[in-house]
Amino acid sequence: MANTKSPFADAVIIAASNNTHGARSIKNISKATPHHMAGNMTADAAAKLFTNASRGASATNCIGSDGRMVQGCYYETAPGTSSNRANDLVSCTYEVANISGAPNWFVSDKAIEKLIANLIWECMTFGFRLNYTGTTLGTMTRHNMFIATSCPGPYLQSKFLEITKTVNDALDGKGMPKTVETLFDKYKVKKPALKVAAPKPVTPAPAPTKWKKISLAAVAKEIWTGKCSYVDSSGKKPWTYWGNGDTRITRLKKAGYSDSDIKKINTVEIPKLSGAKVTTTPAKATVHTVKKGETLSGIAAKYGTTTAKLIALNYIKNANLITVGQKIKLK
């Protein structure tokens, strides 16, 4: 019979055989049962107690408050720990030291970290997962599930769900607490493989919308109606309208147009393109009355002049703010 030893064991002090349930197959190991010592003994002292043939008990491992672990039974031997032979035949049992007494029976962080590290190794080695249901049906069981006892103590018992999750997260490749990982490094124990998340598919950015150059007449229409469909090389619309004066000249040039070419377009055709009602204006008109929907740039184009000239003639402060019925001097 092989004598399987935990790589986390700092020493081995084997319990008297009549304190155990005898030989078992490690293929049947499928549970873990942590107990508390109800005292702050060292791992060595606790393990030595079980060498006394009259003790009537044993544990797979004993863990002291300093994190030292002494193995008391090889895994091929069923320990006598839980007051339940059926549980002990398939369980890895522990006696864990307390750093305080009743009523809480606190346990040190180092002891819990060692417990977690060894539980991870046991689950990996014997092929089971922890499942704490609060009943004997789970794979994480307690002494007080089988007899009336305070063991494993309120504090350690309160940690069972957290311990279960930490162990299973490590088994699932989600990593482990740094303090536990340090123990794996210290004892040179192979860690559970980390699952590397698959890279998220990269959705290529849509290609920038390429602007199709429109006709001079269409640009003139946009100027008349206060719109602008131009899209730059990045696919963005830098302006909402073509603007007036030097601003419009600059924008037209950037889009590949000439302001002078726009002005050459028949002034009657511009309002036609916009869908506005066309009114033939005598060539000698010197004043224009603003109608609904008209813009200063549209009026300038209609009479073959520039917005700048109309602004100067009429002392207009805001070219984008003219009102219906307003008289605009043309000369």
- Kindly give, in sequence order, each residue whose CB lies less than 8 Å from that of residue 165, ignoring residues fewer than 6 positions away: none
Report which of 264, 242, 268 is spatially closest to residue 253, judged by C-alpha positions.
242
Nearest to 43 by CA among 20, 60, 68: 68
Which residues lie below 8 Å from residue 315, measured CB to CB, with a gap of 6+? none
**Coil/strand/helix, residue 109:** helix
Contact 267, 224 (CB under 8 A): no
CB 31 within 8 A of CB 140: yes
Which residues, at least 6 apart from 200, have a Cβ–Cβ distance to it below 8 Å? none
What is the CB-side half-sphere exposure of residue 147 using CA atoms within 13 A? 10
Give the pLDDT confidence score for residue 276 in this predicted structure: 47
Q: pLDDT (tens digit, 0 to 9) for every residue of the chain, 331 residues total?
A: 589 999 999 999 999 999 999 999 999 999 999 999 999 999 999 999 999 999 999 999 999 999 999 999 999 999 999 999 999 999 999 999 999 999 999 999 999 999 999 999 999 999 999 999 999 999 999 999 999 999 999 999 999 999 999 999 999 999 999 999 999 999 999 999 988 767 778 877 666 666 678 888 888 888 878 888 888 877 788 888 888 888 888 888 888 888 888 777 745 455 554 444 444 444 457 889 989 888 888 888 888 888 888 888 888 888 888 889 989 888 8
